[in-house]
Amino acid sequence: MPQIIFLPHAELCPEGAAVEAKTGETVLDVALRSGISIEHACEKSCACTTCHVIVREGFRSLNPSDELEDDMLDKAWGLEPDSRLGCQARIADEDLVVEIPKYTVNMVSEGH
């Protein structure tokens, strides 16, 4: 069973976390199940960037992103080459190391 290591995040998981994941689960679902409350304003429908994560290790093992996800990621704060939306990144059979960015862009809560 693959494992996801979430790197420390000051607000969401100050100590970091290592959690078991099931093949086919999304990074976001694993985080939420593990008590890591990554924001997901669009309720996992690939319509925002609030669940943006950076996959520091294991990126190539994830399912490929599609055009809709790539378009949404272009709007994410702190976009990096190994960025994914947590609601779209499905786990395969490799362990992952995931960083949750310090900031997120939430048009709803920011009143845009």
- This prediction has a pTM of 0.92
Residue from 26, 25, 52, 56 nearest 39 by CA:
52
pLDDT tens string 23-64: 999 999 999 999 999 999 999 999 999 999 999 999 999 999
Q: Which domains does the chain have, with CATH numbers?
A: 3-99 (3.10.20.30)
- Enter the tokens of residue 55: 């996959």
Specify the pLDDT at position 107: 52
Specify the pLDDT at position 6: 98
d(CA 97, CA 104): 19
Specify the pLDDT at position 109: 47
More confident residue, 111 or 30: 30
User: Do the beta carbons of residue 80 and residue 54 sit within 8 Å?
Assistant: yes
pLDDT tens string 50-100: 999 999 999 999 999 999 999 999 999 999 999 999 999 999 999 999 999
Strands 96-99 and 52-57: antiparallel
Q: What is the dihedral of CA 9, 13, 14, 16, to 10 degrees?
A: -90
d(CA 95, CA 74): 26
Chain centroid to Cα 110, Å, comes to 20
Q: How confident is the model at residue 20 (pLDDT cuts 50, 70, 90)?
A: very high
User: Do the beta carbons of residue 68 and residue 79 sit within 8 Å?
Assistant: no
